[in-house]
């Protein structure tokens, strides 16, 4: 999908020609991933975007980062890259600590020295998941798995090494790459039964909305800094999320027949190695205040993305 988006007055996203042209020199890490690829597509053309591949900026060797960054000209770093699979982090804890924590620290030091603005992408998994209410930026972070610990350590290190940095916590990303809705649609189109955990809650969030929010935030004077939750409005369980995907996809003709998503319990799920926090619904009140507009719901953002992408979904199903 390569449509351009801009923030609508209701905090949502209009598919219109984007207007801002502040001409930043942006270095984005992780541009083969879901969020990084979307940010790169949104900003290319209006900003100078550097998107080093892993061979040019390998986060598993943090001591090489100063030399590697020294060759790159940028005034804003958006650090998306991470070892993002909680189970992989559990299996390879030392590598996870290096990639997620030590490399972020090295990047933050370089940004401070340059100086360059830094946006560190973080996660709802910094929370323990015990509190069944929207969590705001001042709620205590208490991770329960190694992935969460490495990302929390990175948050603290970045804020300490690079005063003025923005730590942007996101959750349940969709809109690029292989995300949860893509998996649900692939399985549903293949006629497989769809089952979703019904007692684990968070906020599905559009990578395209994140691209717009970040651009609005870094342009503010002074730019947003500290910890900020970047998510759409509302809450979902894996089950209600999957059901919404199937219902909208059926309306759009992506799925030929309605699909009823079955529920399962987190405690009964055997497939996870890492512990998962149960309630990590992020509050986006601070984001709405900074944007000066309400933030649209995840359902609205999802419906728009499915509508814009329906042709490519149908094409892929044709080639199944
Ligand atoms: N996905 C979610 O729902 C979610 C939820 C909460 C928070 N987040 C956070 O959001 C950010 C982006 O997540 P995502 O889902 O877009 O990630 P992703 O799709 O898993 O992509 C990860 C990216 O990091 C790169 N990477 C991994 N190890 C690397 C290394 N050693 N050196 C250099 N690059 C490396 C990958 O490059 P290769 O292609 O070379 O492997 C890839 O570009 C992450 O910080 C994640 O913690 C994501």
Which residues form ligand 1's pocket by a CB distance below 6 Å? Answer: 30, 32-36, 54, 58-60, 80-84, 99, 121, 123-124, 151, 170-173, 177
Q: How far is the CA of 297 from the centre of ligand 1 (A)?
A: 24
Q: What is the pLDDT of residue 319?
A: 54
Atom of ligand 1 nearest to the CA of 30: 43
Closest Cα to atom 14, ligand 1: which residue? 34
Q: How far is the CA of 121 from the centre of ligand 1 (A)?
A: 10
The two tokens of residue 100 are 């997620």
Q: Which residues of the chain have pLDDT under 50?
A: 1-21, 320
CB atoms within 10 A of CB 18: 19
Name the nearest CA neighbour of 213 among 84, 50, 43, 73: 43
Among 28, 32, 33, which is best to mutate for testing ligand 1, by the most ligand atoms less than 8 A from CB?
33
Identify the burial level of 135 via C-beta atoms within 10 angstroms of its C-beta, where 0-12 means exposed, 13-18 middle and 19 or more buried: buried
Q: What is the pLDDT of residue 316?
A: 76
Q: What is the pLDDT of residue 177?
A: 87
pTM: 0.93
Which CATH number is associated with domain 6-318? 3.40.50.720
Q: What is the pLDDT of residue 22?
A: 56
Say if residues 158 and 120 touch (Cβ distance below 8 Å). yes
> pLDDT, tens digit, for every residue of 46-66?
999 999 999 999 999 999 999
Q: How far is the CA of 255 from the centre of ligand 1 (A)?
A: 29
Active site residues per annotation = 147
Report the C-alpha gap between 178 and 181 in whole angstroms: 8
> pLDDT, tens digit, for every residue of 183-221?
999 999 999 999 999 999 999 999 999 999 999 999 899
List Cα–Cα distances, 81 to 28, 33, 58, 87, 298, in angstroms.
8, 7, 10, 17, 23
Q: What is the pLDDT of residue 17?
A: 31
Closest Cα to atom 19, ligand 1: which residue? 33
CB atoms within 10 A of CB 311: 12
Task: Spell out the residues 6+ positions from residue 288 whose beta carbon is closer than 8 angstroms to its own.
Answer: 11, 294, 295
b/e string for 27-57 if b means 16 or more Cβ within 10 A?
bbbbbebbbbbbbbbbbeebbebbbbeeeeb
């Amino acid at each position: 999908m390569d449509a351009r988006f801009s923030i609508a007055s209701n905090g949502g996203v209009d598919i219109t020609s984007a207007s801002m042209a502040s001409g930043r020199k942006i270095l984005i890490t992780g541009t083969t991933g879901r969020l990084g690829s979307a940010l790169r597509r949104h900003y290319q053309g209006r900003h100078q975007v550097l998107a080093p591949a892993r061979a040019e900026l390998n986060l598993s060797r943090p001591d090489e980062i100063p030399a590697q960054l020294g060759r790159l000209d940028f005034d804003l770093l958006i650090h998306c890259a991470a070892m993002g699979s909680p189970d992989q982090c559990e299996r390879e804890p030392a590598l996870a600590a290096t990639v997620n924590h030590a490399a972020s620290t090295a990047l933050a030091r370089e940004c401070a020295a340059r100086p360059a603005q830094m946006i560190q992408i973080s996660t709802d998994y910094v929370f323990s998941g015990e509190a069944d209410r929207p969590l705001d930026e001042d709620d205590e972070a208490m991770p329960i798995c190694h992935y969460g610990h490495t990302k929390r350590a990175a948050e603290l290190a970045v804020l300490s090494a690079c005063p003025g940095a923005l730590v942007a916590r996101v959750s349940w990303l969709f809109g690029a790459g292989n995300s949860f809705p893509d998996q649900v649609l692939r399985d549903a189109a293949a006629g497989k039964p769809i089952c979703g955990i019904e007692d684990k809650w968070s906020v599905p969030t559009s990578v395209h909305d994140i691209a717009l929010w970040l651009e609005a935030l870094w342009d503010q004077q002074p730019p947003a800094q500290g910890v900020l939750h970047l998510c759409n409005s509302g809450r979902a369980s894996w089950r209600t999320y999957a059901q919404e995907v199937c219902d909208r996809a059926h309306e759009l003709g992506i799925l030929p027949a309605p699909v009823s998503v079955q529920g399962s319990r987190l405690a009964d799920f055997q497939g996870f190695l890492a512990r998962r926090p149960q309630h990590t619904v992020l509050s986006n009140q601070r984001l709405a205040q900074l944007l000066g507009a309400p933030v649209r719901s995840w359902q609205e953002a999802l419906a728009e993305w499915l509508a814009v992408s329906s042709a490519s979904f149908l094409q892929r199903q044709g080639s199944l």
